[in-house]
Amino acid sequence: MRNGRTFALVTGAALLAAACTAPASSPSAAPSAAAPSSQAPSDQGPSAQAPSSQAPSAAAGAGRLDGAELQARWWNWAASSPARSNPVKDPDGTFCAENQPGDVWFLAGSFGEKRQRTCSVPAGRPVAFPLVNLIADASDCASWMKGAKGTAVLDGRPLTAERYEGSEIRLTGVEGNPVTDGAGSFSGLACGLWVQIDPLSPGPHTLRIEGSSGSFGLSVGYELQVG
């Protein structure tokens, strides 16, 4: 990804777009064929799931990450696996545990497809995921966030999403990953709608993630088994 090069990459609850920058020694990534040409965000106002008195508690303890750390860690996780085992491309949850960190459990959306996944989650682990998210420059992040909206429903109860308007992050991808479409380290501004929740009680849980901005939209369901 060269400085000033514009491209778009839909990455499950995620769009990697516009001016990511890299040192001259870093490899360049080619534009992704998966990215639709009509990806410009709409003028629709921002909308996220409104806080609800029924919503399970957001992660509030030691497991809670600030916006910059959360986004940087999630993007690096998403780019740490090649396409054949990448959690964002995962059709059914087979790769849910791929390269998970030890202190938080990340979930992924899709490349815009509807997905239904089954995933085992360790007990005692906070869970975090985006509804929609982007890496771009300040202007594109601002436009993206104007149209960003989404909901997350856990066991029939709505979760509260947080808005992160823009944080500088450093992203390193492995060869063949579908997020950066190439190996190397890149910088960009990360923004999006995010959910963090405290560790879930042992047993089965259902989660539905919906997100959109402009012409991009996703719908992913999870059957989570905790413990």
Q: CA-CA distances (angstroms) from residue 40 to 8, 31, 37, 188, 189?
A: 10, 16, 8, 18, 17
125 near 206, Cβ under 8 Å? no
This prediction has a pTM of 0.77
pLDDT at res. 170: 94
103 against 39, higher pLDDT: 103
152 near 159, Cβ under 8 Å? yes
173 pLDDT above the threshold of 70 = yes
What confidence category does residue 64 fall into, taking pLDDT thresholds of 50, 70 and 90?
A: confident
Q: How many residues does the chain have?
A: 227
pLDDT at res. 16: 52
Residues 96-146 have pLDDT tens digits of 999 999 999 999 999 899 999 999 999 999 999 999 999 999 999 999 999
